[in-house]
Amino acid sequence: MNIAINTLKKPGKYGSFLNDRVIVLMLLMLTALFLIDRHQTVESIYFTGKALFHISPFFVLAILFAAYAKASGADQLIARAFSANTGVAIVAGALAGALSPFCSCGVIPVIAGMLASGVPLAPVMAFCIASPIMDPEMFILTAAGININFAIAKTVTAIGMGMLSGFSVLGLQKLGYVRQPLKKATGCGCGQPAFDPQLPIKISWRFWQESKRKDEFITQIRTSGLFLGKWMTLAFFIESLMIAYIPAGLITGLVGDGNTMAIPTSAIIGIPAYMNGYAAIPLISGLMELGMTQGAALSFATAGAVSSIPAALAVYALVKRSVFFVYIALGLTGSLIAGYFYQLLSLL
């Protein structure tokens, strides 16, 4: 699952909740809104609760899927994507990145382990670009929070951007560039060991028969549920404020049909504004209601996923500067291509 799990140290203690930046931000925003506009405070709470209730069945399904993948060991199947020749491995890497349940935090040691063990950079780049854009849980929530067509387009885009990036890197390497990618192997601080594609995969589809895997399932439900819950709550709350205070004309002027630069503008805005794939769902939905075009929305979602500050910093810490700039350039280029192509399709 593409989630940077920022769990609480001891979930039952109030002090731990106050150490969580998302919860603190939510409390500060709610307090500020109450002091400024009490009527809107009630409206925003109602809007957020209603939105959470509407998406709750999909929310539960996404959490259960992620927990099952983790507890059964099915997430380790990613290793098989890189066992073929380079061209096939690029395609497999893009598919695996878009369809795998790795969190965006846990994917860093996965990538580090792949590069350290000799997996070529091209398929790793395909995986690295595709992974933060889409995963099965995000597909479910995107289909529920925006629409099924956008979820499908985002999935196809993730695979396409992954393949574009992989083959682009392969071409650069043939020209003599980016041949020594890894700066250092590093973890992500979430307790996951570095990934080794050479180790055998241990899958237990009936995980409940093993106490350790059953505990892992419960832990994953708790951590994923907490992470998704707090981010979705914050995102729906922000959406309510957008609808209340941002003039529709402003959004239409920046990223609507009337602006020929709507798609590039969305891609650039996505870099600082994008929080994570799950929080972005109601954010994008709100922007689309205010006039953002289909293509601009897709460009915002994909550019933000690849080039957002947290994701970019994690990649920068792992690879050499030249590889990092290639990563950013490929992410932005792919998002622009996807945005223009999807906008064209939406007009047909």
Residue 2 lies in a domain: no
Q: Is residue 5 part of a domain?
A: no
In a domain, 47, yes or no: yes
Q: Spell out a b/e string for 5-40, using b for 16 or more CB atoms within 10 Å of the CB, else e.
A: bbbbeeeeeeeebeebebbeebeeeeeebeeeeeeb
Asked whether residue 185 carries a pLDDT value surpassing 50, the answer given is no
**What is the tens place of the pLDDT at every residue in 191-220?**
444 445 555 567 777 888 888 888 888 888
Asked if residue 334 belongs to a domain, the reply is yes
Residue 228, pLDDT > 80, answer no
Which residues constitute the domain of residue 127? 14-347
Q: How many structural domains comprise the chain?
A: 1
Quick check: is 3 in a domain? Answer: no
For residue range 250-284, what is the model confidence (pLDDT) as tens digits?
A: 766 777 776 778 899 888 887 766 656 777 788 78
Q: Which residue has the higher pLDDT, 9 or 327?
A: 327
CA dist 166 and 250 (Å) reads 37
Asked whether residue 7 is domain-assigned, the answer is no
- Is the pTM for the entire model greater than 0.75? no
Quick check: 16 pLDDT over 70? no
Domain assignment present for residue 6? The answer is no
Max CA distance (Å), the chain: 62
